[in-house]
Amino acid sequence: MRRPESVALVSAGYPPYKSGGIDVQTYDLAHALSFEGVDVTVFCGGARPSKVTHEHENLKIFRMPMADAPPRVVWFQLQNLEILRRTLPNYDIVHSQHSSGSIYGLFKEKIGKPWVVSFHDHQLRRLTVFFDVKPWNLSLGDIMYYTFGCPLFEFLTKMELKWADHYIACGESGFRDYVKFSKMDPAKTTVIPNGINLEKIRSIIRSAKEYENSEEKDDFMIFTCGRLYASKGIQYLLKAMPHVIKRFQNVQLKIFGKGPLYSYLQGLIRSLKLKNNVTLEGHVPYKQLIFEMNKSDLAVFPSMVEVGASLAVMEAMACHKAVVAFNYPFSLEIIEHLKTGYLVPPKNVNAVAKAICVLIEDETLRKKLGENAYCNIVRNHDSKNVVKKYLEVYSNVLSMQN
């Protein structure tokens, strides 16, 4: 089989610009491929006018204009159509993140280069959240997304499924959703669990040591992060906090991220009288996020929709943290209850509070879960090992083209 010499990775977002989970995954994959000796160029948004930077010998970042308004992935493609049409033929493989390169299908036949698409969580799975939460937990941004965004992204999904040469599902639960809702062809699909750059996490932690306060901290720190949408379930964590604080007054919760639910969460913090124990930290640079994650005592991720292993969950596990999460199929792909984490029934506020209290009280269990979680990441989700599966997909696709 022929191994690719060059790969074009297409992702509307790429750190530090619009740095969400998919963007971080693209970053880690790009670096892992380049360390394998593959010439990688990431085509992404974040610059006006366009500019190319070299992160190291085998990795270039081609930043292009992208309107800072939804739907960003669509503006990214439309604004840069000519650049993509002119440049992508220079690579052995075009690999796009879901919805970031859908338009490639329109000129793929003329260019003649194979196309691989990574699929993340399914839009119809996200739509279930719309009917699954109280209306007052939905922001205007949520409602706009579910009303207009879901149909748009489903259309882009159909384009990709029609024209791509191979699909990568980033988790078993996501794969099942795409087969069920979009008739994804299993014969053209490879399930590759999400991976993270462990050495990157370790490097950030090492570099942050000099900034750590040497004094003993009295408060028990709980960490969570994510875009502030209803689907991330932060509202359930906030509603659990009064029960926790009733037993443990010295608990602090830090919430990192921004999004349309910010004002609602501010109001919830006030109404639950949590101002002394909960802070909305907003968006912070990635290195600071990992630093805060690492110095916390416990991580809680009450998300209701993910595809496979959540990158934020994996990053917390890479920091040796015990994680509390809802018991959904995507959580089971990385967390085994009371072995590598603590799973609770979805949307059960009392269960979230109980789990937090158990882990505050039982330091031995908390540390055991954190160590087991770290070993799980090293064994199954280190990007330097996961990248070999991507290279195998690329080689198979290239051999089928010949």
Q: Are residues 108 and 138 in the same domain?
A: yes
Q: Are residues 166 and 246 in the same domain?
A: no
Q: Does a structural domain hold residue 342?
A: yes
Write out the DSSP string of 297-361. SEEEE--S--SSS-HHHHHHHHTT--EEEE--HHHHTT--BTTTBEEE-TT-HHHHHHHHHHHHH
Query: Encoding tokens for residue 360?
Result: 């505050």
How does DSSP classify residue 92?
Answer: S
Q: Are residues 396 and 365 in the same domain?
A: no
Q: Are residues 96 and 218 in the same domain?
A: no
Q: Are residues 337 and 396 in the same domain?
A: no
Least confident segment among 139-153, 165-179, 245-259: 139-153
Q: Does a structural domain hold residue 207?
A: yes
Q: Are residues 134 and 75 in the same domain?
A: yes
Alpha-carbon separation of residue 96 from 22, 25, 85, 116, 186 (angstroms): 11, 12, 14, 6, 19
Q: Does a structural domain hold residue 1?
A: no
Q: 217 pLDDT band (50/70/90 cuts)?
A: low
How close are the terminal C-alpha atoms of the chain, in Å?
A: 10
The pLDDT tens digits of the residues spanning 338-377 come to: 999 999 999 999 999 999 999 999 999 999 999 999 999 9
Q: Are residues 229 and 187 in the same domain?
A: no
Q: Are residues 222 and 368 in the same domain?
A: yes
Q: Does the structure show a pLDDT above 80 at 388?
A: yes
Q: Does a structural domain hold residue 272?
A: yes
pTM of the model: 0.91
Q: Does the structure show a pLDDT above 80 at 139?
A: no
Q: Are residues 359 and 260 in the same domain?
A: yes
Three-state SS for 42? strand
Q: Does a structural domain hold residue 339?
A: yes
Q: Are residues 86 and 211 in the same domain?
A: no
Q: Are residues 183 and 287 in the same domain?
A: no
Q: Does a structural domain hold residue 224?
A: yes
Q: Does a structural domain hold residue 317?
A: yes
C-alpha 137, offset from chain centre: 22
Q: At what angle do helices 150-163 and 172-182 cross, to 10 degrees?
A: 90
User: What is the CATH classification number for the domain harbouring 324?
Assistant: 3.40.50.2000
Q: Does a structural domain hold residue 168?
A: yes
The pLDDT tens digits of the residues spanning 280-314 come to: 999 999 999 999 999 999 999 999 988 778 999 99
Give the phi and the psi of residue 160 in degrees, each rounded to 5.
Answer: -70, -40
Which whole number is the average pLDDT over 140-149?
A: 68
Q: 48 pLDDT band (50/70/90 cuts)?
A: confident
pLDDT of 142: 66
Query: Could you give the number of structural domains in the chain?
Result: 2
- Give the structural domain span for 274: 199-380
Q: Are residues 393 and 332 in the same domain?
A: no
Residue environment code for 280-303, b if the CB has 16+ CB neighbours within 10 A, otherwise e: beeebebbebbbbbbbbbbbbbbb
The Cα–Cα gap between 143 and 229 comes to 10
Query: Encoding tokens for residue 112?
Result: 């003649």
Q: Does the structure show a pLDDT above 60 at 123?
A: yes
